[in-house]
């Protein structure tokens, strides 16, 4: 076998191996997906708390509110796709995702879409800078979180 042929085969071999490695890295298991979305939700909670805490003060810090709302809007865009099939209770780790996420998939998607629209809209309101509107509209974003939780999240103290 000539050197060029051997080198060519090694090259192809490395290419295939590399492709498999990339595919494996992209394919996350249910545990990783569940943990990642719980982290996302915790981030939502922390950001929304910043907003509410600021709105309770005498002189709310608009920049801090804007930063928190932008984080919610940016990181929340794909919230609907964070619940692929197989990441419910059957995954075997603690999750508060209700089975209705999958049995009422269209309804779940609507809740996710409502939230994405609400967060984009609230970001606009915050960017416009009118404090009365910022205070008044915060509830619409909270309602979009709550609307999904009410239908699709197991309550914290769920009776067994």
- The residue ranges that bind ligand HEC (CB under 6 A) are 34, 37-38, 41-42, 44-45, 48, 72, 79, 95-97, 111-112, 115, 144-145, 148-149, 152-153
What are the backbone angles phi and psi of residue 145, rounded to the nearest 5°?
Answer: -65, -50
Least CB distance to ligand HEC at residue 45 (A) = 3
Least CB distance to ligand HEC at residue 141 (A) = 6
Least CB distance to ligand HEC at residue 27 (A) = 19
CA-CA distance, 148 to 110, in Å (whole number)? 9
Write the CA distances from 22 to 11, 37, 57, integer angstroms.
17, 22, 49
Cβ nearer to ligand HEC, comparing 7 with 36: 36
Burial tier of 73 (Cβ tally within 10 Å: 0-12, 13-18, 19+): buried
Least CB distance to ligand HEC at residue 7 (A) = 49
Cβ nearer to ligand HEC, comparing 41 with 66: 41
Cβ nearer to ligand HEC, comparing 112 with 134: 112
Closest CA to 30 of 79, 82, 86: 86
């Amino acid at each position: 076998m000539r050197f060029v042929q051997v080198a060519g085969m090694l090259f192809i071999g490395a290419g295939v191996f590399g492709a498999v490695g990339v595919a494996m890295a992209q394919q996350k298991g249910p545990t990783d997906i569940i943990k990642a979305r719980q982290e996302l939700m915790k981030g939502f909670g922390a950001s929304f708390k910043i907003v509410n805490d600021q709105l309770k003060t005498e002189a709310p810090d608009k920049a801090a509110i804007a930063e928190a709302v932008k984080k919610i809007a940016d990181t929340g865009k794909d919230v609907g796709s964070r619940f692929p099939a197989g990441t419910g209770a059957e995954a075997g780790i603690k999750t508060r995702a209700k089975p209705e996420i999958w049995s009422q998939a269209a309804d779940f998607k609507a809740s996710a879409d409502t939230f994405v629209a609400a967060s984009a809209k609230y970001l606009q309101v915050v960017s416009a800078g009118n404090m009365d509107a910022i205070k008044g509209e915060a509830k619409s974003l909270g309602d979009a979180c709550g609307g999904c939780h009410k239908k699709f999240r197991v309550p914290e103290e769920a009776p067994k």
